Amino acid sequence: MFTQKHQRQSEALLQYGASDFSLALLKEIPFLDLAQLSVNLDHPKVAFRAAWALEHIVLKNTYLIEEHQGLLIQNYCFSNNWSVLRSYSKIMMWMTSKANQSFDLTEVEEESIIEKTFQIVEDASCPVAVLVNAFDILFQCIPNHPWLAQELKLQIELQLEKEASAALKSRGNKLLKALSKIK
């Protein structure tokens, strides 16, 4: 349900630019409200803006990711809005990266991320920006799931055959090179 409070928060979100996305924003729109707005199916533009704000805020203040990792993973797995998934995939990239020295993902959390990420990769309508982020997420999960290496290689090669954009070629070839070094 979209309450009057959510309406006010949404109107504020639509006025902000990326430079406004800081911890100060959380005084006006609390983290949980922002997360809820980011998966709102009835207002895709508001969902995008909320996810974009979350991305900027949590990647600058990564302790927030640890505090809300379950919710962030849940929202990533729930969303089908490509604009929202672009932001959430960047958060998942950080969560699965070596840069994350703060906490470990549980096996269930990592499996949920992998499952959703494969859904993204296999969707023919997936935008390149989200697709290359998904490739990175899967690559970063290989240490705990070695079977991903071969599957990811096949997915990248398939996508390179279908799509010849510069972004996909660059990231895809970089990952294929890294995958070739994995035994």
Are 23 and 109 in the same domain?
no
Are 30 and 101 in the same domain?
no
Tell me what percent of the residues of the chain surpass a pLDDT of 90. Answer: 79
In a domain, 120, yes or no: yes
Place of tokens 């729109």: 29
In a domain, 77, yes or no: no
In a domain, 1, yes or no: yes
User: Count of domains in the chain?
Assistant: 2
Domain C-terminal end among 32, 61, 90? 61
Are 96 and 144 in the same domain?
yes
At residue 19, the pLDDT reads: 79
Residue 2 pLDDT class (50, 70, 90 cuts):
low
Q: Is the pLDDT of residue 182 over 80?
A: yes
At residue 133, the pLDDT reads: 97
In a domain, 10, yes or no: yes
Are 157 and 90 in the same domain?
yes
Domain C-terminal end among 30, 61, 92? 61
Are 91 and 154 in the same domain?
yes
Are 96 and 161 in the same domain?
yes
pLDDT tens profile 113-149: 999 999 999 999 999 999 999 999 999 999 999 999 9
Range of the domain at 105: 82-183
Are 125 and 50 in the same domain?
no
Cα dihedral 171, 72, 106, 80 in deg (nearest 10): -60
At residue 8, the pLDDT reads: 86
Q: Which of 22, 82, 7 is nearest to 57 (CA)?
A: 22
Q: Which of 44, 39, 41, 32 is nearest to 5 (CA)?
A: 32
In a domain, 143, yes or no: yes
Q: Which of 107, 71, 108, 111 is nearest to 91 (CA)?
A: 71
Are 35 and 86 in the same domain?
no
Are 178 and 88 in the same domain?
yes
| Dihedral sign (CA 172, 112, 62, 82) | positive
In a domain, 157, yes or no: yes
Are 49 and 126 in the same domain?
no
At residue 183, the pLDDT reads: 67
Range 64-93 average pLDDT: 97
In a domain, 71, yes or no: no
Give the pTM.
0.93
In a domain, 76, yes or no: no
